[in-house]
């Protein structure tokens, strides 16, 4: 089993890491190999690996240490346990926040086109290229050229209202 682990480490290591291998470890393994007794050879291998591991743990920092130090400066992503129970929208927002991405809670745009998609429901094409469709009946009246505000609401919903108006309607982004 240790032989498999050793070869796995050798295969996973880079050429530079192999070239810099500790020669005393290699010498110790060669000595162990020359022992006739299986039990003595196994004990020798264990001792050589333990000594090598102890030297690695006490030795200078590995080349990967600077990358780990840089990663420590960045905010840590939440664990799966921390995300457990959150709605998908809240989990996504939490992940974006931990990655340093800006979250937008509202957009302002102008209506370019209005399309009727069902009885008393419309699709709104905005000047930024987005298309939003009305999801619930509303008495809000829109016209092409109106300035609107779309706000993020709870549970991933959004509302659209005319800039400066009190009435709003629920919408869902189509494109």
The pLDDT, as a whole number, for residue 67 is: 47
The string of pLDDT tens digits covering residues 110-136 is 999 999 888 888 999 999 999 999 998
pLDDT band at residue 74 under the 50/70/90 scheme: low
Per-chain mean pLDDT for the chain = 77
CB 121 within 8 A of CB 169: no
Residue 55 predicted with pLDDT over 80: no
Q: Which tops the pLDDT comparison, 157 or 27? A: 157
State the distance between the two ends of the chain, measured CA to CA, in whole angstroms: 55
pTM score of the predicted model: 0.48
The string of pLDDT tens digits covering residues 10-37 is 445 544 444 445 677 788 778 878 877 7
């Amino acid at each position: 089993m240790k032989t498999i682990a050793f070869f796995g480490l050798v295969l996973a290591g880079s050429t530079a890491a192999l070239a810099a291998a500790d020669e005393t470890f290699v010498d110790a393994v060669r000595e162990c190999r020359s022992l006739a007794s299986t039990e003595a050879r196994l004990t020798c291998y264990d001792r050589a690996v333990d000594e090598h591991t102890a030297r690695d743990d006490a030795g200078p920092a590995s080349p990967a240490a600077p990358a780990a130090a840089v990663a420590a400066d960045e905010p840590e992503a939440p664990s799966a346990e921390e995300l457990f129970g959150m709605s998908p929208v809240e989990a996504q927002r939490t992940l974006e926040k931990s990655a340093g991405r800006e979250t937008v809670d509202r957009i302002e745009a102008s209506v370019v086109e209005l399309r009727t998609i069902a009885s008393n429901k419309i699709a709104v094409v905005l000047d930024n290229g987005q298309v939003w469709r009305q999801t619930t009946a509303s008495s809000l009246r829109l016209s092409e050229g109106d300035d609107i505000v779309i706000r993020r609401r709870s549970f991933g919903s959004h509302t659209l209202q005319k800039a400066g108006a009190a009435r709003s309607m629920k919408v869902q982004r189509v494109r």
